[in-house]
Amino acid sequence: MVVAKVADKVAVIQNPHLVNNNTGGKSMSETSNSDYLIEMTNIEKIYKMGGNSFKAIETVNLTIAKGEYVAIVGPSGAGKSTLMNIIGCLDKATKGEYFLDGVDTKCNDNKLAEIRNNKIGFIFQNYNLLAKLSILDNVLLPLLYLGYTNKAAKEKAKIALEKVGLGNHIKHKPSELSGGQMQRVAIARALVTDPQIILADEPTGALDSKTGKEVLKMLEDLNNDGNTIVMITHDREIASHAKRMITVRDGHITSDEINEKGVTA
Ligand SMILES: Nc1ncnc2c1ncn2[C@@H]1O[C@H](COP(=O)(O)OP(=O)(O)O)[C@@H](O)[C@H]1O
Ligand SMILES: [Mg+2]
């Protein structure tokens, strides 16, 4: 079984429950005293292509507290994905400071992957499910990366799938599900590790509007349960479902507003 093979490869990764504060064993010098979950100071990202370089984001200062539901919105090319990749520890800034849950993300790639696996749950536009695996195996995979046993991972994955209303479909393959169901699997996979932040990149982008609304409702419920959510979208209507809307344009944050509709929704 594919999952068992993956488990062998990742068995060396520390069990997060053995690490103090679940921070991957941070030391004092690597920590911030702030209460913010995300704390970015003067973040800049330059892409180098051949002899040219391109500044995709510049002097981004951003703080997000635990329990917030934030949308990052802007037109295509604004720098949203670049910012998301940095927030999600998938890429590093060229300049500036980024503390995630008090931990400095200026570290080597292995350490960055460890922070990412422990603290972030991802939801992508195209679900990013593994086609050959059952939805149960898709959802339990992040737990194997964290060092859970197969048995413990299975139990936890089943609970996550029940939470998104797919408890009766655990043996199905992704191709046997609708788009909305696949996105619910992706939500279960994001949730299963109890991450500090759920990062959703255009989570409704591939769905019809009715199914998109169901996914947005699910994100809202997760936020009401105390989860911190950062959603990336080009669509202001979708962004208006969040409680705070940050607009990005040409690599800069151009506005940061509390969303009355999101707060009362
Ligand atoms: N890997 C890359 N190499 C070079 N330029 C890039 C790369 N990724 C993104 N860019 C450029 O950076 C800018 C911001 O891109 P991106 O963050 O993907 O914007 P958005 O997600 O808002 O559409 C765009 O002009 C894009 O062409
Ligand atoms: Mg993008």
Contacts of 152 (CB under 8 A, 6+ apart): 143
Torsion of CA 234, 238, 244, 246, to 10 degrees: 10
Q: Where are the domains of the chain?
A: 36-262
User: pTM for this one?
Assistant: 0.86
* Per-residue model confidence (pLDDT) at position 259: 86
> Counting atoms of ligand 1 from 1, which one is nearest the CA of 79?
17
Torsions phi, psi for 232 (to 5 deg) = -105, 130
Nearest 5°: the CA angle 118, 120, 126 is 130
**146: closest CA among 114, 189, 182?**
114
Residue 21's Cα: distance from chain center in Å?
A: 20
Please state, rounded to an integer, the average pLDDT across all residues of the chain: 88
Which residue has a Cα nearest atom 27 of ligand 1?
A: 77
Which residue has a Cα nearest atom 12 of ligand 1?
A: 56
190-219 per-position pLDDT tens digit: 999 999 999 999 999 999 999 999 999 999
Which parts of the chain have pLDDT scores under 50?
Answer: 1-28, 264-265
* Per-residue model confidence (pLDDT) at position 36: 94
Gap from CA of 233 to ligand 2 centroid (Å)? 8
Gap from CA of 54 to ligand 1 centroid (Å)? 9
> Counting atoms of ligand 1 from 1, which one is nearest the CA of 78?
22
- Report the C-alpha gap between 196 and 193 in whole angstroms: 9
The class of domain 36-262 in CATH terms is alpha beta
Which residue has a Cα nearest atom 2 of ligand 1?
A: 47
Element spanning 216, H or E: helix 209-224
- Would you say the CB of residue 81 lies under 6 angstroms from ligand 1? yes
**124: closest CA among 77, 159, 66, 174?**
174
Gap from CA of 241 to ligand 1 centroid (Å)? 25
- Would you say the CB of residue 193 lies under 6 angstroms from ligand 1? no
